[in-house]
């Protein structure tokens, strides 16, 4: 069975996690964001006093970290092809890896580009930065200004891979999810 693959993405502080949680509560299949667990793992082995905004600061080899992240997202994509679900939502997609690497001026090779080209999603929903709800937490280190720049990097990266991005308007969590489901005609 081929599942329709839907990415919900956005920079930090956009309400993305709340939207994903509401999608889950409505009994849709969701693949969770994997960066938080990788960031926590990296923090255990690094020097937190040197960390400004990039979780890569905790690792000795940013390419290995990003490759692990890329592979995790590719694995989620492949898993979606092997489950019995009409729809699968993804808390971030494969192109997010490249967007963040672009934002942090990190080099990547054709392996990263090929992964994005070989694993195409059906729909991409982008949540814009929302200053009124933005806050730091244990795994979020970016300033609001950085979040705006990350949003631009995400938008540019998805567009560069040919995606038609649907921007999710500011609203309650429930109304934002309704917007996504109505756009998908569910």
- Rounded to an integer, the average pLDDT of 166-185 is 97
| Count of domains forming the chain | 1
CATH number for the domain that contains residue 171: 3.40.50.300
Neighbour-count burial of 24, counting CB atoms closer than 10 A to its CB (0-12 exposed, 13-18 middle, 19+ buried):
middle
CA distance linking residue 109 with residue 134, whole number of Å: 33
Give the residue carrying structure tokens 């290995």.
64
Q: What is the pTM of this model?
A: 0.88
- Rounded to an integer, the average pLDDT of 74-78 is 96
pLDDT tens-place string over residues 37-49: 676 666 665 555 5
Range of the domain at 123: 4-183
pLDDT tens-place string over residues 171-180: 999 999 999 9
């Amino acid at each position: 069975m081929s599942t329709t693959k839907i990415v919900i993405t956005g920079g930090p502080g956009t309400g993305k996690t709340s939207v994903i949680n509401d999608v889950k509560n409505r009994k849709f299949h969701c693949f969770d964001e994997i960066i938080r667990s990788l960031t926590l793992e990296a923090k255990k082995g690094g020097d937190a006093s040197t960390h400004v905004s990039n979780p890569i600061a905790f690792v000795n080899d940013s390419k290995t970290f990003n490759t692990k992240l890329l592979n995790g997202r590719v694995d989620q994509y492949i898993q979606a092809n092997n489950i019995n679900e009409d729809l699968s939502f993804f808390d971030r997609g494969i192109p997010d890896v490249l967007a963040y690497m672009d934002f942090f001026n990190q080099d990547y090779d054709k392996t990263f580009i090929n992964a994005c080209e070989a694993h195409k999603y059906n729909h991409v929903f982008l949540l814009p930065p929302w200053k009124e709800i933005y806050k730091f937490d244990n795994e979020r280190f970016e300033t609001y200004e950085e979040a705006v720049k990350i949003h631009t990097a995400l938008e540019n990266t998805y567009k560069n891979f040919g995606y038609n991005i649907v921007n999710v308007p500011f609203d309650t969590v429930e109304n934002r999810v309704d917007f996504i489901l109505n756009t998908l005609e569910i």
